[in-house]
Amino acid sequence: MVTKDQRRRQLAREKFERQQARRVDHHRKSRRRNAVAAVVLAVVVAGTGTAWAAGAFDGSSKKKDDAAGAAPSATAPTTAASQVPDPCEKPTAGSPATATWKKAPAMSIDKGAKYTFTLGTTCGDIPISLDAAKAPATVNSFKFLADKGFFDHTRCHRLTTAGIFVLQCGDPTASATTQGGSGGPGYTIPDENLTAFGKAGAQGMVTYPAGTVAMANSGPNTGGSQFFLVYKDSPLQPNYTPFGTMSADGLKVLNKIAAAGENSGGQGDGAPNATAVINKATVTKS
């Protein structure tokens, strides 16, 4: 007999697979739209041409799918009323960057060195130890983007609280009124370190342990700028580059955000109720 908890996990996995399929379809359609836009108005392309480089845990599904457990619409408001007090402070003044790049940056990091990715958020600092040896392309990209201020003033736009327990960030298009899920730097990076958590078990899953920081994607080798922070052990297919680990203090901040819940009305997948905004992100070499 399938228990209630097992059924909930099964539904969460099925939901994730549906989102993946929709994301790949959205990827193709967005690329076609961007090609047309490039002919009409080059300036518009510069601001929107990265829609296809979005994250796996995205919010781009159609509203009609909500009843079936799909993600909320990309245009759904993210400021639904909550009975839980906001544990975070107001964001500092500023707006997300709009710059994009046609190709990934040249390798410039020292693969043998230690790097720390620090998210200075409205909810507290989240220090992340980066694995330059096993995920050099990812770490190199994040240092490049952080140095450019790409993550500054960006909103962490998605929180999952059923089956998969993650906070997703890194989309400069996410705002207080837009779910986000389609923004990126304009280029993609390859998958790395996919065997970090061992051989896949039942239903092709491995456990991404609490404290893990990994890349979101829309299929193989489509990582951009979106990433997710795992606050509780989560079963996932080993398709998402793990490239860092949060400190204990950082995990406490993440759990504070998760404890405030999300605004999907009980679906377990929506915008966080907490005002989780990255005021400043830095990558430093130690």
Query: Other C-beta atoms within 10 Å of 99: how many?
Result: 13
Q: Say what the pLDDT of residue 65 is.
A: 30
Q: Say what the pLDDT of residue 2 is.
A: 57
Q: Mean pLDDT over all residues of the chain?
A: 80
In the predicted model, what is the mean pLDDT of residues 115-121?
98
pLDDT greater than 80 at residue 47: no
In the predicted model, what is the mean pLDDT of residues 24-39?
40
User: 227-276 pLDDT, tens per residue?
Assistant: 999 999 999 999 999 999 999 999 999 999 999 999 988 899 999 999 99
pLDDT-derived band at 76 (thresholds 50, 70, 90) equals: very low
**AA letter at 253:** V
Distance CA 127, CA 13 (A): 29
Considering the entire predicted model, what is its pTM?
0.75
Residue-number span of the structural domain to which 87 is assigned: 4-285
User: 185-217 pLDDT, tens per residue?
Assistant: 999 999 999 999 999 998 999 999 999 999 999
pLDDT-derived band at 69 (thresholds 50, 70, 90) equals: very low
**AA letter at 71:** A
pLDDT greater than 60 at residue 49: no
How many structural domains compose the chain? 1
CATH number of the domain enclosing 28: 2.40.100.10
User: 127-177 pLDDT, tens per residue?
Assistant: 999 999 999 999 999 999 999 999 999 999 999 999 999 999 999 998 877
In the predicted model, what is the mean pLDDT of residues 8-15?
66
**What percent of the chain has pLDDT above 70?**
71
